[in-house]
Amino acid sequence: LLLLQLPVPIAVFFLLYKERMVPCFGSSSHPLLSADELALETRPTDKDELPSTLQRAQAAAGGHDDLFSCCQSKNFRGASYTYYAVHITGALVLFMTDGIVGEYSGFIYSYAVEEPLSVVHKVAGYLPSLFWGFITLGRLISIPVSYRMKPATMVFINVVGVLITFLLLLIFSSSVVFLFVGTASLGLFLSSTFPSMLAYTEDILQYKGCATTVLVTGAGIGEMVLQLLVGSIIHDQGSYSFLVCGMIFGGLAFTFYALLLFFHRMYPKPSSDVDEASPDKPAAMDDTGQYQR
């Protein structure tokens, strides 16, 4: 299963290499034209507008010359340690939760057909479908819920729900009925963890580009690594270790989330003076109903 995912990152890396967006490797090939440059070649432009348009196109292209431009040292000058801590703890939470999604969907069938459950193979085949079905249902439900609930609260409910579900699965490990109930419950709680965590870190960091990169990378690595780890443990220790691993991963996700809350409280809030001077701030209305800056 892991080998089937390798062609995708290899193809992406090859594309980045051809676009000269990997700083460690040089390439003599010319990158593809940006959208602005292509529009300039296909659309006639007045002589007065051409210099300013070219400048905007070059500025836009310059912002994407280096894939790791957000990770340059000049962008971290003066950043507090809580800035890094929010990135790391947020990525670790998604490392665990997305890892649980990968390992549970990959090994729930193998766990069900082994002792002590010994579920019929045809019936056990419904478990992964049930799990992914409730993940889809949970994501649909989370859309209206997100309008009334803060992202931090949603992540807290999800992480605690995953931990409690694994605990109950361990207690009722000999019940086939509860295995199906627990699988559905786990799918619901894991469904909105990733988007809620992205929204939460966006609120903390005022949407820094590096935060999204770190979170997505942590989630992807977790989904890949934990499957390999749990598969090796099940092979050596037996099928019961499948739920024990899930319980441990859920506990670690809760611990990292608690650390994220701690660092959020310590993270410096943006200055109100900067917000008022921001050109992106919408114009305010006075008492007469007219807009003013």
Q: Which residues contact 21 (CB under 8 A, 6 or more apart)?
A: 31, 64, 65, 66, 67
* DSSP states of 144-188: HHHTTS-HHHHHHHHHHHHHHHHHHHHHTTT-HHHHHHHHHHHHH
Longest CA–CA span in the chain (Å) reads: 79
CATH architecture for segment(s) 81-264: Up-down Bundle (1.20)
Q: Is residue 100 within 8 Å of residue 194, measured between CB atoms?
A: no
**In the predicted model, is pLDDT for residue 104 greater than 70?**
yes
Please report which confidence band the pLDDT of residue 205 belongs to, taking 50, 70 and 90 as the band edges.
confident
**In the predicted model, is pLDDT for residue 1 greater than 60?**
no
Long-range contacts of 30-35 (CB under 8 A, 24+ apart): 34/60, 34/61, 34/64
Report, as an integer, the average pLDDT of 223-237: 89
Please report which confidence band the pLDDT of residue 174 belongs to, taking 50, 70 and 90 as the band edges.
confident
Query: What does the domain layout of the chain look like in residue ranges?
Result: 81-264
Output the pTM of the full model: 0.68
Q: Which residue bears the tokens 């300013």?
A: 52
Percent of the chain beyond pLDDT 70?
A: 63
